[in-house]
Structure 1
Amino acid sequence: MTARTALPPMVKPVYQHSTLSDLVPSIGAHLGIAGYREDLLGLPGSDRYVVVLIDGLGWHLIRRAAQAAPYLAGLLGDGRAITSAVPSTTVTSLTCLGTGLAPGQHGMVGYTSRVPETGEILNALTWESELVAKDYQSRPTAFERISTAGVAMSSVALHRFECSGLTQAALRGADFVGFEHEKAEDTRIELTVEAAMRGSRSLVYAYERELDHSGHVDGCDSQVWLRHLARIDAMCERLRESLPDEVTMIITGDHGMIDIPSGNRLIVEDEPGLLAGVSALAGEGRFRQLYVDHENPERVADRWRDRLGELAWVRTRDEAFDEGWFGQVDASIVDRYGHVMVAMRDDHAVMTRQFPRELSLVGMHGSLTPAEMMVPLFTD
């Protein structure tokens, strides 16, 4: 008999200690920003920082693929793992980074979620909604606080992200420094170096997205993904060489990723018992949020537990709150969360034909496994 592979443990974030939401406040402590008194992450002291956020760069992924990324691999010895927030997805993680807040405070609760006031399912990446992003996420951002304090705060990213809903909700406050084409690496490096040398103190946020895109389309076990990693690794090394020594460069990710075999995708429309009592379904394949308006959420949770067993962590909203998945949750955003949370374990996903674009994905993320939750924190 073949021994069964052990299922991964749950990784719960420890907010205000070792998460992505602690990064910018820790930098702010070194830059002398009022209210940011402590460096929670043990960063080098500096008056100038560049934070490179590589979308989809998980701690376990970079360790596994170290041969393809010699520069990043060379930082592993002094590097450490921190965690993303819950869910481990770009919308929530970038808002944690840009605001310095746990998701229970900033309210960007997932890739897709239900808006309590309208009932619409908001995709916060595409933001195809009339919602005003600055109103929906109205808490001041860390970028705003840093800029107001007189620090040269810049964001280097594709031009088309400048006015996006997610940028306005999560990352507003930085001077946007845009570029047209991702492959124009010399231009990106030049713009980042120029931004880093503005003023007497500076913080630059530089965003790289292609690794995540490749992981979704081709899988993070693919040769295509490895080629993207090698390209990004070389670009990071060139950036470090181009930056003056006085600038501290920090490299991190917003989540990890795992590949989901086609046979491990449960389609909810083919499981009518699972949708019983569910008014709306949001989230993503690895982390579903179920909105339950006319039935006891505990009964819905029990049905999902019976069906999925040890393949998922199923919690009612109150249980997830009590376990600290989202940090302290502000009363004003409680209803943005689903009444039931389904966080997949192992390499399975819960899919729906309501979101057909998701059905073609290979690599996924969002749950609380180590592969998805743990991201690197490198300094150079």
Structure 2
Amino acid sequence: MAQPAPADAHWPEPAPLDPRTAPVPAYGTASLADVLPAVATGLGIPGLATRLDLPPADRACVFLVDGLGWDVLRAHPEHAPFLTSLLPSSTGGSGQPLTSGFPSTTATSLASVGTGRVPAAHGLPGYAVLDPDSGALMNQLRWQPWTDPHAWQPYPTVFQLAQAAGVETSQVSAPHFEHTPLTKIALSGGTFLGRLSGEDRMDLAAQRLAAADRSLVYTYYADLDGNGHRYGVDSGAWRGQLAYVDRLAQRLAGQLPPRSVLYVTADHGMVDVPAGPEARFDFDEDWELSAGVRTLGGEGRARHLYAVPGAASDVHAVWREVLAEHAWVATRDEAIALGWFGPPGAGVDDRVYGRIGDVVVAMNGSAAVVATTTEPKESALIGMHGSVTAAEQLVPLLEVRT
């Protein structure tokens, strides 16, 4: 029989994850930033570079479902029979996974989709990032504090380029999104049409597709993500929403006019973060993690750390040691060079560099760095996203053609 280890036996600490081993988005070939450039190329709009090859169509609709990860979709075929039929393992399905980009979060991903540019260029590199000009932490989803949207993200959207090229362009979404700064800098161009119900959005999207010989329509649904955050992706509430999304997609597909293509995609996946200190590292309660950090940015699964002057190297070392196998911890320059925010070695726009943390943290497994005092609502979420794991990064690109 094996003898128990002596009480004073030394167990080695887990080795920190090497950021060079972190998965990186497939920018330029299979990322969210490549979808609309590929669609636009198929519509005859020149000058949008991507190596993602999508067959041309005269009419194209992109239906983006917030929080619909590739992994969780494949895990629930009984709740999404229509979407499952479009997966590559199904007869006739031609769907494929894409990478969302880093961080895998809504503001970053919608900017990547709408501009056709990577985070290093469009400049929304996280949920909440430092504005170097003001020193304030800028929440890019809620756009707080107020910042000039077009100074923050100056590039035209693909929708604007399509409309200028004579393509009838529409966005069909919830009415309250029409005038948000994120819509202005990521999704504007053509006609915005607000509808409250998912069914009304699908019906109107089909109508707008048929309204011209060449048309581009974008439509969006958010509640799958909301239920995942509140209840987790392993919940009845989330599965019910997935079944509803499946019916919406089938409803839209059934109304496509001739010479059309529908793409169903998402902005990110999601993981459930267990309760308790083994999975939730509390920045507000852990003196080691908070030491030397002037401002905590990002979100639970993807953190930007803005260090006090002279403390960046110490912050980097401590976070690597404390989180060990729970996170990939990189310096700003490492993360940029490795390709987290754009193609490896491509760098970032000058205006974007200071928005990225001195230290960038991408969580592994199901752990998160929460902040229960300063971020109480976000810290209470069950489902989270933002990191580079497959569950968060991989999103579907599912196709229906007429």
TM-score calculated relative to the size of structure 1: 0.95
Q: CA deviation at 1:331?
A: 1.5
**More deviation, 273-282/221-230:** 273-282
Alignment-derived partner of residue 14 in structure 1? 26
* 2:47 aligned to which of 35, 38, 60: 35
Alignment-derived partner of residue 255 in structure 1? 268
- Distance in 2 separating the partners of 1:174 and 1:362: 37
1:335 and 2:354 matched: yes
Alignment-derived partner of residue 131 in structure 1? 147
Conserved? CA contact 1:10–1:370, under 8 Å: no
Task: State the one-letter code of the partner of 1:239.
Answer: L
Q: C-alpha deviations, 1:93-113, integer Å up to 9, x for none?
A: 000000000000000111111
Alignment-derived partner of residue 64 in structure 2? 53
Alignment-derived partner of residue 150 in structure 1? 166
**Where does 1:1-380 land on structure 2 (aligned, <5 Å)?**
10-36=22-48, 40-77=51-88, 78-179=94-195, 181=196, 184-263=197-276, 264-327=279-342, 328=346, 329-352=348-371, 353-380=373-400
Q: CA deviation at 1:195?
A: 1.2
- Distance in 1 separating the partners of 2:60 and 2:70: 21
Q: Measured at CA, do residues 71 and 130 of structure 1 come closer, stay the same or move farther in structure 2, by a change above 3 Å?
A: same
- Distance in 2 separating the partners of 1:205 and 1:171: 9
Q: CA deviation at 1:139?
A: 1.3
Conserved? CA contact 1:44–1:248, under 8 Å: no
Secondary structure of 2:254 counterpart: helix
Secondary structure of 1:269 counterpart: coil
**More deviation, 349-358/249-258:** 349-358
Conserved? CA contact 2:271–2:384, under 8 Å: yes
Q: CA deviation at 1:37?
A: 5.8
Q: Measured at CA, do residues 142 and 293 of structure 1 come closer, stay the same or move farther in structure 2, by a change above 3 Å?
A: farther
Q: C-alpha deviations, 1:101-141, integer Å up to 9, x for none?
A: 00000001111111111111111111232212122111111
Q: C-alpha deviations, 1:196-247, integer Å up to 9, x for none?
A: 1222211101001010000000100101100000011011101111112421
Identity %: 42
Aligned residues: 372
Q: CA deviation at 1:28?
A: 1.2
Conserved? CA contact 2:41–2:56, under 8 Å: no
Conserved? CA contact 2:177–2:183, under 8 Å: yes
**More deviation, 277-286/186-195:** 186-195
**More deviation, 353-362/61-70:** 353-362
Query: Please, which runs of 5 or more residues in structure 1 have no aligned partner?
Result: 2-6
Q: C-alpha deviations, 1:334-360, integer Å up to 9, x for none?
A: 001111011110000000121111022
- Distance in 2 separating the partners of 1:348 and 1:135: 35
Q: CA deviation at 1:373?
A: 0.4
Q: CA deviation at 1:333?
A: 1.2
Task: State the one-letter code of the partner of 1:287.
Answer: A
- Distance in 2 separating the partners of 1:69 and 1:32: 33
**More deviation, 15-24/118-127:** 118-127
Q: Measured at CA, do residues 103 and 185 of structure 1 come closer, stay the same or move farther in structure 2, by a change above 3 Å?
A: closer
- Distance in 2 separating the partners of 1:185 and 1:330: 37
Q: C-alpha deviations, 1:269-303, integer Å up to 9, x for none?
A: 21112111111011000001001141242221100
Q: CA deviation at 1:325?
A: 0.6
- Distance in 2 separating the partners of 1:125 and 1:28: 26
Conserved? CA contact 1:82–1:374, under 8 Å: yes
TM-score calculated relative to the size of structure 2: 0.89
Alignment-derived partner of residue 9 in structure 2? none
- Distance in 1 separating the partners of 2:341 and 2:84: 31
